[in-house]
């Protein structure tokens, strides 16, 4: 972020494809081409970790902080690499819909990969590359595949209810599982190899196009995950390995009862004792995948909201200290370029602001938050922006701009927007007026959700925090992609040129 820049926000799973969900195939490459052609050199995505229907398909609720999501593997690229035949590829086609039908996508991709893994084992040309991958990623891969096989064997019973030898990771018990289920473990490793191979090829293509990928690290991991099972000492658990408390945030803009996430809380004293080894590996892993990383809920690294496990909302919690100065010193020592973006939204106190300023990493400014009760003093208003920040019209947690205007704004807020822009703003032009504000900001980087440059309404919202159903389903259709190419992106390109965001 040495120069002013501009980019788009769209998760990989939201892209068009012929297989029911966006993936790492041809449409991802086409989208990268469109970004490059229109001088948009940043592409922000969401976490790529495994998701599940029973957890609402949220990329922030995963069984692994390291593994890749198998449903994002491209069948087209598997066919290109000789792992599928043409007639087999055609068996997995799904009609294009505006939302993802996860109930069809998961079993189809699972069936496809079962077939691919059998072919893979017979091809000698892959073996050296595969063995190198397994060796390089062994620090998380071995635990992850064991965990996945055990989850399947115990029908997703929580890991602390498994036989004691497996729960406590007795070496003899684990050795017995490795011998008994060696073929299943191998299959899980192959799937991860195929995901990371496709991801590495894709990011190499983006780099050649001068496109930087902005990844996302969820601050917390999930209790039913290989991360907690393999590193029990790093989390606040009782003698039976159950959670002592849970994560969330107090009442905020999104919810009057706060957000109860339910994740286990880090035992920061144990992380300090091991010199933050797990965090170093996690961040290093992400920085091999992405050019920049947005740290979700950054304030939780400074101080976090801890909620008793018995509570059903996040209201009755308390603040406690996070990693402290030693953690942030580790960041500076291990990652001196500090290629991070701090998600600093919500309840942000002076100590959090102080750490962000001390590190010199950019925070976030969201124009949808700019016209509330603190207008015209809001830090989210462009005249209050600083250079070292990233401005968004909205995030993946917000409504679309047109949906926000139509369904959420009060009359006084609409008047404030009209005064601020000195325009006769209405639902037909509000998205472009806010995009212009973002592009004209002194913020070094402006990121626009794809839904906003297309002028889509609430049906295109990706996520509504503190709700479970109907999230993470929106998809960009082929027709919308064509509109993006022919109409919307050229307008954005002109705005980026006008406001000095084309410096590559």
Catalytic residue of the set 23, 143, 343, 452: 343
How far apart are the C-alpha atoms of 67 and 55, rounded to whole Å? 17
Does residue 268 contact residue 300 with C-beta atoms inside 8 Å? no
Residue 137: closest CA among 202, 208, 226: 226
Please count the other Cβ atoms lying within 10 Å of the Cβ belonging to residue 119.
16
168 catalytic? Reply is no
Residue 60: closest CA among 72, 71, 45: 45
397 catalytic? Reply is yes
Q: What are the backbone angles phi and psi of residue 426, rounded to the nearest 5°?
A: -150, -175
Q: What are the backbone angles phi and psi of residue 243, rounded to the nearest 5°?
A: -65, 135
Does residue 402 contact residue 455 with C-beta atoms inside 8 Å? yes
DSSP string, 362-422: -EEEEGGGTTSTTTTT-TTSGGG--SSEEEES--TTSPPHHHHHHHT--HHHHHHHHHHHT
Provide the token pair at 312: 């059903």
Catalytic residue of the set 23, 81, 227, 296: 296
Does residue 44 contact residue 214 with C-beta atoms inside 8 Å? yes
User: How far from 377 is each of 264, 316, 384, 442, CA to CA, in Å?
Assistant: 37, 30, 7, 16
Specify burial of residue 50 (Cβ count, 10 A radius: 0-12, 13-18, 19+): buried
Provide the token pair at 33: 């081409």
User: How far from 9 is each of 12, 45, 93, 160, 213, CA to CA, in Å?
Assistant: 10, 6, 26, 38, 10
62 dihedral zone (left: phi>0; alpha: psi -120 to 50; beta): beta
How far apart are the C-alpha atoms of 242 and 225, rounded to whole Å? 13
How far apart are the C-alpha atoms of 294 and 165, rounded to whole Å? 38
H or E element, residue 278: helix 277-289
Q: What angle is formed at CA 230 by the lines to CA 152 and CA 13, rounded to 5 degrees?
A: 60
The shares of helix, strand and coil residues in the chain, as percent rounded to the nearest 5, are 45, 10, 40
Please count the other Cβ atoms lying within 10 Å of the Cβ belonging to residue 392.
27
343 catalytic? Reply is yes
Where in the sequence numbering do the catalytic residues fall? 296, 343, 397
């Amino acid at each position: 972020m040495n120069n002013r820049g501009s980019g788009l926000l769209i998760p990989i799973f939201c892209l068009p494809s012929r297989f029911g969900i966006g993936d790492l195939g041809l449409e991802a490459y086409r989208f990268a081409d469109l970004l490059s052609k229109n001088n948009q050199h940043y592409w922000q995505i969401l976490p790529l970790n495994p998701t599940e229907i029973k957890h609402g398909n949220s990329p922030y609720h995963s069984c692994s902080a390291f593994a890749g999501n198998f449903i994002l593997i491209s069948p087209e690229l598997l066919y290109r690499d000789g792992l599928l035949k043409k007639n087999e590829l055609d068996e997995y086609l799904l009609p294009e819909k505006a939302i993802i039908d996860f109930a069809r996508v998961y079993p189809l991709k699972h069936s496809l990969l079962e077939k691919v893994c059998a072919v893979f084992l017979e091809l000698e040309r892959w073996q050296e590359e595969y063995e190198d991958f397994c060796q390089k990623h062994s620090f998380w891969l071995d635990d992850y595949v064991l965990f996945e096989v055990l989850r399947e064997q115990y029908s997703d019973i929580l890991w602390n209810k498994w036989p004691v030898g497996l729960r406590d990771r007795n070496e003899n018990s684990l050795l017995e599982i490795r011998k008994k289920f060696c073929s299943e473990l191998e299959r899980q490793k192959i799937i991860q190899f195929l995901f990371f191979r496709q991801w590495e090829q894709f990011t190499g293509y983006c780099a050649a196009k001068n496109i930087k990928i902005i990844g996302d690290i969820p601050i917390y991991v999930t209790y039913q995950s290989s991360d907690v099972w393999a590193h029990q000492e790093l989390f606040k658990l009782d003698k039976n390995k159950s959670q002592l408390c849970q994560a969330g945030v107090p009442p905020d803009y999104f919810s009057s009862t706060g957000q109860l996430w339910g994740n286990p809380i880090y035992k920061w004293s144990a992380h300090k004792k091991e010199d933050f080894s797990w965090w170093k590996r996690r961040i290093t892993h992400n920085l091999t995948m992405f050019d920049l990383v947005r740290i979700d809920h950054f304030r939780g690294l400074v101080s976090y909201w801890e909620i008793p496990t018995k509570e059903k909302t996040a209201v009755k919690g308390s603040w406690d200290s996070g990693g402290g100065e030693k953690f942030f010193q580790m960041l500076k020592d291990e990652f001196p370029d500090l290629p991070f973006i701090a998600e600093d939204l919500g309840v942000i106190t002076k100590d959090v602001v102080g750490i962000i300023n001390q590190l010199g990493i950019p925070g976030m400014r969201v124009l949808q938050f700019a016209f509330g009760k603190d207008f015209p003093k809001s830090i989210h208003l462009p005249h209050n922006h600083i250079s070292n920040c990233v401005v968004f019209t909205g995030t993946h947690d917000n409504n679309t701009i047109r949906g926000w205007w139509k369904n959420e704004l009060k009359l006084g807020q609409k008047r404030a927007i009209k005064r601020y822009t000195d325009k006769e703003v209405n639902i037909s032009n509000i998205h472009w007026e806010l995009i212009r504000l973002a592009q004209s900001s002194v913020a070094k980087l402006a990121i626009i959700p794809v839904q906003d440059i297309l002028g889509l309404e609430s049906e295109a919202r990706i996520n509504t925090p503190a709700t479970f159903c109907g999230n993470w389903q929106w998809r960009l259709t082929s027709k919308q992609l064509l509109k993006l190419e022919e109409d919307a992106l050229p307008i954005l390109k002109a705005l980026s040129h006008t406001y000095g965001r084309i410096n590559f």
